[in-house]
Amino acid sequence: MTMRTRPIATGLMIAVILVSTLVKPADAALQGRDLDGNLATIEAYYDTVLDITWLADANYAQTSGYDADGRMNWATANTWAADLSFTDGVDVYDDWRLPTLAPVNGISFNYNQSVNGSTDNGWNITSPNSEMAYMYYVNLGNPAFYTVTLQVSGCYVNASDTCLDNVGPFSHIQASLGYWTNLEYAPFPINAWAFGMGDGSQGAGTARKTIELWAWAVSPGDVGAVPEADAFAMLLAGLGLLGMAARRRKGRSGHSSDGRGAIEFHSA
């Protein structure tokens, strides 16, 4: 018995090639992700370097109605992030937290203040060990209040004209005050680490856990992956070739369509 499937295999190969060449991230570091099953919207972005997924809305606590303005104390912010849950109708995405950080030197925290990113307290921290700092400086490419030579950069004019020049694909990034991380400040446990999106500063000197700051949720790893629109369209086009090839093969075989499927089997 011979199974004649070459037209099908050829069409499938074309579809695979089209998809493999066209499914590329829109950005080298940030890739849009769908969390609610609506492919026309993007609810999160996967960071390919940090291997975490950021909510597209940097003030979702307010947008979702959880909090009146989105500012919360440290404990409430952590609870809010941990309780988040999204579903696309098939999968549930409920592993969320606040951004975290680790020592820039990979060993232990240096609490001294610096402007060149060499310590954990200060400005111009581009190490991927700090998720918020990496987002601000590397992914978004924003400047700091101080240059690495301790000069005032001039990017911060006032509370309405800050160093947050680029927000990328995200919405509602807040430049006033700061954003919580999930890490307690070891020298003074009544404080927690925070990051200022208005001037690019990282620290915890005045971030008492009881004050209200902004909160931005992240999820470990890559969640809610979806194909890009153009690649998805080409996938459909490639799959359409399967049906065309099958109908062409069936027409040549001299058999009428009886709805039993596209693959024809013939005795050798």
> What is the model's pLDDT at position 40?
87
- Angle at which helix 229-253 crosses helix 6-22, to 10 degrees, equals 170
Look at residue 200 and tell me whether its pLDDT is greater than 80.
Answer: yes
pLDDT score for 154: 96
State the pLDDT at residue 230. Answer: 42
pLDDT of residue 30: 95
- What's phi and psi for 265, nearest 5 deg? -115, 135
Instruction: Give the per-residue pLDDT at 247.
Output: 42
Among 28-32, 206-210, 216-220, which range has the highest average pLDDT?
A: 216-220
pTM: 0.76
Residue pair 109/202 in contact (Cβ under 8 Å)? The answer is: no
In this structure, is residue 14 part of a structural domain? yes
236 neighbors 11 (Cβ within 8 angstroms)? no
pLDDT tops 50 at residue 86: yes
Residue 145 confidence (pLDDT) above 90: yes
Cα separation, 242 vs 120, whole angstroms: 57
- By three-state DSSP, how is residue 72 classified? strand
pLDDT over 70 for what percent of the chain?
73
Report, as an integer, the average pLDDT of 40-46: 94
pLDDT over 90 at 75, yes or no: yes
Q: What is the DSSP letter of 134?
A: H
**What confidence score (pLDDT) does residue 39 get?**
85
Look over the chain and give the mean of its residue pLDDT values, rounded to a whole number. Answer: 81
Does a structural domain hold residue 242? yes
Tell whether 189 is covered by a domain: no
Pairing of the two strands 121-122 and 113-114 = parallel
pLDDT in tens, 151-163: 999 999 999 999 9
pLDDT attached to residue 226: 61
Domain assignment present for residue 233? The answer is yes
**Inside any domain, residue 18:** yes
Residue, of 116 and 232, whose pLDDT is higher: 116
Q: Quote the tokens at residue 231.
A: 């690649």
Structurally, the chain folds into a number of domains equal to 1
Res 108: pLDDT: 97
Q: Decide if 76 is inside a domain.
A: no
For residue 112, is it within any domain? Answer: no
DSSP 174: -
Q: What percent of the chain has pLDDT over 90?
A: 69
Task: Tell whether the model's pLDDT for residue 1 goes beyond 60.
Answer: no
Domain that holds residue 238: 2-23+227-266
pLDDT of residue 248: 45
Classify residue 193: in a domain, yes or no.
no
